[in-house]
Structure 1
């Protein structure tokens, strides 16, 4: 943690968000990769939401639906309860973790191509992310803490994926704290994020997060009553609230990048953007899932 009485480093705060956006696809693609469903379904898990819930929560152990709902935040509790803890009667967390790592290797190799997957750029980014992760701490970050207990993989491609995973889950835990501070429930956070045009489309959010139409409509009405949403989308007050949440989230996610330094963080952005662009252009996320 950077001490308050230390001199403020020369660092562009916007780099924090840029670094996150540059590397996040390298982790998040695994949720859309057919290899993930294939590997985890081979253990007996149901493809789709059960694979997702089990794969992401497995590092925390065989946790119940309440823990998954709390740490994932924007999923319908009824959807989570339909999949967890039944998943742990079909496969152990250890089996799920191993299968997910194998899926990440296979999907990244396919999307990057074998030559790029074994390139010096991947190895360099892996080293930078591992260095950045040395500044991460687990206090108040339960999902990150579970993943941080896992050993680092030996191969650079998976070190890159694991580093991106740790940074993503650490940031995500902080993001939930920022959402709570802003007074947004999980569904309110999902709706307002979709309304920015930068998250899931409304159709994709409804399809993947399990909320009923009447729940969605009632929450939209509540957000409108608060002056955050209208028929055109987010109001000016809603836009300002979402902007404050992102600033708060960046502040809570700053330590790894401040520790790494501006020059090395800029290199993370350069490398991460190039690799993320490549997997995106090769179909990592499909069509109609995200906004602009």
Structure 2
């Protein structure tokens, strides 16, 4: 049933009572009726997931829920469009199942079958919704949702701070995001080790900004590197390090990889 109905006899136009609400109110009512709460749950995302579907006149909206484990970058992309569809990223701040003022964090609304893309950073942690909205036709689409929790520079490194024990982080390196840095701060001499597993070919390195210029200099800043082929486990071994700031660098090898790195300080 349409939310709006009109009758025009050249003298008056009548609408049912509920059509007098604002568009925001109508959208909220639609979401309350189940669209947002029933979103496809992509879970806590470390890396990338892709979904193919379509929207049409009887199925105008598709919603996907993603949980970000840490503050980072959230990317959503629509490709392979066969019609016009738009893209939004939504944060249900008060968890009421509605899109309230301020909940929309980004909108991409290109014409026709032009790809849609949103890149939001810094954002998270927490739960977000990706909305695919039909504009015209019955567009099929491929949706890519991607998280990135560690930056590609010393300054953008995921800060693990000062700790004892093991910290585990998962993420992805690929052709558009080939490097992830993790920062460790030692207040006294400690032993540092790290291992990594992955779905593709990624390599592991212990490094330090030797000249404090904020720029990674290959051949100068690395202390030790593990560069095993393919999906072989990377192991840096153990190093006794004096007080200071150090970095674990994960970088793409011959193939994209979703990885898990374990960093130990003792």
Higher share of residues assigned strand: 2
Query: What TM-score, normalized to structure 1?
Result: 0.21
Greater C-alpha Rg: 2
TM-score scaled by structure 2?
0.23
